[in-house]
Chains A and B, each alone.
Chain A
């Protein structure tokens, strides 16, 4: 296995154990404990009233708008993470007193070269500004207004 993948072995072990744990719980839930079916017990619990209609009804379109906006911002976050990690790494003497390179993690990730730093900074500013415009547009359109 390559060096990168080896670090993920514990996660796979954990996934296996968690699956076992969860399945055990489900089996226990279905075997231990009494089982007495009555019609009333199998009705939806709606404060003792007989339920009227189906619970799966159309709902407000606002939730859909929020979901779309979430996608915009979340994808933006995914773009920001790699930048944030690599932007000020290489040779940078940070506040913490020594170069904050990733070399002590066991493999080198050089980060953005010093001479490109200004360009990247400008690009990021444009990126954030674009996002801010989209945000203001959504606000003006009343997406954040809940009755």
Chain B
């Protein structure tokens, strides 16, 4: 038996050997054992990361709003997430009398289950297309992106069922809005990725990273698909119900939206589902558009060894963290959309733009044009949409002087 797996040649082999050795120690087949270890590690990391993402978000909010933020439990409030978790567990779990009990109970579980399951095809660290070890729960799945979208879109059932079963008007409205929103934004989300599939010739996220890493910093998809990246990011924000698209649960209108009636651990599960979705989205943005674990001179395709593995994980996680921080900053910097604006943005702007972008990629690939035309066409499409969409503010939208004076008089 190899007792020093870390000393073996090559980083990925070393990790693989270590995992195989562990499987042999416990006595379970490698096909099940290696994913099992990865799954448990991922699950633990996600649970911890979710709680600390909430801490980070509260600190960021406090910083933007010139407050102190959580600072009572532990140094700088660092134990706050643990206290929150304990509170979720120890509070009373109320199931109101008027609800549909079965659906009410099952809704948060659907939310957590689907968002977590989506992580199974997302690269969580360095990946290889060859013999080595890939940090994916389920590597080498060719339908990766389709699987991911189909599973994450099931999460809307949690929201709809939660809203409907609560038998509460706020919940019902929240669930209804959310179903229309999530369903609509799924189309630009899926369509913006088709350009990537056309370029990489695969829906496997490992291949997508590999294709980007091969041609260095300027192989990253964001240079060739800037419009698709923008559309994907915005649609993903809307899919995960984050501000400025958090209409299903906008506090000022709908109290808690679809989870108004939920308390204790069931509410916690909805929360966990939402944050897991944010993580998945950030991982996807990094993998699809920002080159995954690749960074010039630091983490290249050729670099092997323990250090390279650690660096690749570090690079990927840094990118993911950057996307998460951008999402959080957006939440505290932008006001919420109105519902008609939200649907208009999706159906009148993002869907035609993503369709146009797809046709551009198609033409470039068909006639074997230079890829230089891709960013140009993206920019042209963006500007065209801006010019077509521009219209001067209608007169009725402006407040007449008398109304303003009337309002001023009331205060």
Q: Chain A residues in contact with chain B, CB under 8 A?
A: 6-11, 13-15, 17-19, 21-22, 25-26, 28-30, 32-36, 41-47, 51, 54-57, 59, 62-63, 66-67, 69-70, 73-74, 77, 80-81, 84-89, 92, 94-98, 100-102, 104-106, 109, 111, 117-118, 121, 124-125, 128, 131-132, 135, 139, 143-144, 146-147
Contacts and interface: CB of A to CB of B under 8 A. Distances in A.
B291 to A, nearest CB: 12
B187 A105 contact: no
B89 A28 contact: yes
Given A11-B120, A17-B43, A44-B166, A96 B215 contact: yes
A19 B113 contact: yes
By Cβ-Cβ distance, the 8 closest A-B pairs, closest first, are A10-B35, A146-B340, A29-B265, A42-B97, A84-B197, A10-B138, A100-B201, A44-B168
B265 A56 contact: no
Interface in B60-74: none
B303 interface: no
Given A10-B120, A25-B112, A17 B355 contact: no
Interface string B363-395: 001100001000000000000000000000000
Interface string B164-199: 101111111000100110011011001100100111
26 contacts: A11-B138, A13-B32, A19-B113, A21-B112, A21-B116, A29-B93, A29-B265, A32-B90, A33-B265, A42-B96, A43-B96, A44-B168, A46-B169, A55-B166, A59-B176, A77-B190, A77-B191, A81-B194, A84-B194, A84-B197, A85-B201, A88-B366, A104-B207, A117-B366, A121-B362, A146-B344
Interface string B140-182: 1110011000000000000000001011111110001001100
Contacts of A35: 92-93
A97 B215 CA distance: 8
A66 B180 contact: yes
Given A11-B120, A33-B93, A42-B98, A54 B140 contact: no
A57 B201 CA distance: 48
Interface of B: 31-32, 35-36, 38-40, 43, 89-94, 96-98, 105, 109, 112-113, 116-117, 120-121, 129-130, 137-142, 145-146, 164, 166-172, 176, 179-180, 183-184, 186-187, 190-191, 194, 197-204, 207, 211, 214-215, 219, 255, 260-261, 264-266, 269, 339-340, 343-344, 347-348, 351-352, 355, 358-359, 362, 365-366, 371
A111 B170 CA distance: 50
Nearest to A143: B347
A55 B172 contact: yes
A46 B214 CA distance: 57
A103 B343 CA distance: 42
A61 to B, nearest CB: 12
B352 A135 contact: yes
B88 to A, nearest CB: 9
B169 A55 contact: yes
Contacts of A111: 201
